[in-house]
Structure formats: C-alpha cells, structure tokens
Amino acid sequence: MCDLLQRNPDETTGGVGVGSKHGNTMARQKVIEGEGSSGGNKPPPAGRLSPHFNPDDERFDDELRPQKLSEVVGQRKVVDRLKIVLDATLKRKEPLSHILFDGPPGLGKTTLAMTLAKEMGTECQITSGPALMAPKDLLSYLTNASYGSVLFIDEIHRLPPAVEEFIYPVMEDFRVDIVLGEGMNARTINMKLKPFTVIGATTRSGMLTAPLRDRFVHREHLDFYDVMELTEIVQRNAKKLRTEINEDAAVLIADRSRGTPRKANNLLRWTRDFATVREPSGNITKPISERALAMLEVDAVGLESQDRRYLSTLVSVFSGGPAGLSAIGHTMNVPPDTLEDEVEPFLLRLGFIQRTPRGRTITIAGLHHLGLQAPDQRTDSTAQGELF
C-alpha cells in the first residue's frame, strides 16, 4: 500500500484520488484484481474463456439491438409506415418529422429511435424527461443538434411544465427564446437552430398534454409480440452472444417472456449463464432452459413468484375477493403502487384477476392456474343456507 501511495501520479491510472505526503491528490491504481484480469503475465486459468472474447462485454449487449429497420422483428405495421417516412425523407434530403412512440416498456421504442438515426446516417442524442428539470438542461442538447440529427427523449410525459413550454417553439420553428437579465433590463435573444428531429417515447401517452402531443407529426403505438416473433428474436440474439440454442429452447423462453423482447433477452442471458455453469457444452437445450427458468421461479405462462403470491393471497386471505389494493399490499408487505404497476398488468392481460368497483377479484382462470376449483355458483334457492 505504501508503494501505491509513493508512486508517481503520471504512472497511475484514473481512479479515486488519495492523499500523498505533500497533501496533494493523485490517481490510484486498481488494488484488487480478479484471477481472470489482464494484469500481470499469468495466462488465464484452464477452463476459462479466452481473453479475446468476453460474452458479457457491453458492445455485445449493444449489438443485440437491430442496426436497420429491415432487421427489426415484429411491429410490422409500424415498421412499414416508418419505412415510407424514412424513404420519403431521404429522397427529399430533409430531416425526419417529429415522431412519438407509445406503448408498454420493453417493446422497442428506444431501439426504433436509434435505428432511424442510423438509417439517416446522423447522430442521436439521448435524454429523458426526469433529467430535464429546467429549460437550461435542454439548451445544451439543442445547441449541439446538427442538421437532421435526432434528439430522443425517453419518458417524455415526465417533462416539467416549464421545459414542455420551452420546447414548443423548438419543435415548430426551430428557435429558442432566451431571456437575459431581470426586470426592466431584461432582454430576449432569439436563437435559430438547425432543423432536427425530436423522437419521444412514453409508456403513458394519456399523461401528455394536448399541445405537446399534437406537435408530433407521426404517432406510433407499439403492441406486444407473439411467440413466433419472440422466438426469432431469441435465436438471433443467441447468435450475437455466440451461444448455441435449440429451437425448442428458444420457443420455451419466448413463451415465458410475456410478449416483451426485453424480458426475452433477460431470460436468454440468465439461461446462458445457467448453461455455462451446469452444462459441460454450454449449449442451451430445452431441459437446460426448463431447469434454468424453474430456478428463476418462472412458470409455464410467465408468472413469477410475486405474481403467484398475489393470487394466493387473494384466495387464502380474501377468499378470492373483492379486496382493496391497499389491503392486499399491506397483507403482502408490498407497496400498493408496486402491485399496481408491476404485478397486476400481466395478471389482467391473462384474465387471472378483475378490477371491480369493490376491489380486486380472482377469476376462474386464475383459480385453475393455482390448481384450485372454482366455488359452486348456484343461483337456485338451495344455494342459500337456512337461518334456523
């Protein structure tokens, strides 16, 4: 450790500064290194991957995204309309019109935005609504935008009102009004911007104000994928991750991905890790996929342990409902907003629960999934017990 503190700062790599004996700060070298690190002259241990290929490298994760519109799987109607807009724009040599993507998370809104920028051969700046707290936060993106470039704003429905009003003249006239000074000495500077494209993405289009929503020329809604489309995505991404996967295993992973490519990619990565450890060949087969997803507690329809616990609580504690969301959340020791945003949407899609004015109730399909029999729904006079 003393050697590290006395090392010349010019010989050290970037890191957290530590105090020297002269009171100055200098960069610190990496002190702890793993066995497979590149430090030293030791060869990698037997059985480890070659240092020339790391399957968890960030660049391979980036390559999972399609690079062209022709490589996008699913969302055919959306892609066909975007191709028309893109081809017309390239022929006229103009920037793309402003586009708004809406839909559930994980369906490819960011992917489509980045793909359009690559097809146009221009740069793409990425930010999000919560990151733009004031108009000055947006100003740097606007002044750096080149002709025809793309500014992608994720979760655009979370833009503060001041930033939203600031972006109106930007999207319409490509100009920025900057106020300098205060009071009677204040003056306004009108700055012209180079025409560029704003692409917004939102999971809650209903929270967008009408003036902002109407400024997007094209609006595209992304829907869930079917099993065949997800299977193709899993097979393509397995090749990009340099992992062999059987078709049956790809179908199994796709069937439990809830119709979401992001979920399919996450399950693929987990199954790849499981196969690397538990399978000598490292290949993903159907038995390996079943064991991996069983360890992850993902069942045949894609429900996770939290989802099944929700259904079990609704049956065992509330006799199938109706039950209020707050009561269910307190019983499970889970915040109600977590249940409403993460657990209930997929259960509603499957038809396992219903939202009624009196509360949540479990359906016959939900009872059958838990292996329980539906109560006898008799409507005759014998269904009611006698009082005496």
Which of the residues are catalytic? 109-110, 154, 203, 262
CA quadruple 31, 33, 39, 42: dihedral sign:
positive
Asked if 220 contacts 201 with a C-beta cutoff of 8 angstroms, the reply is no
| Residues listed for the chain | 388
Q: How many CB atoms lie within 10 A of CB 40?
A: 7
| Cα 143 versus chain centre, distance | 28
**How many whole angstroms separate alpha carbon 104 and alpha carbon 113?**
16
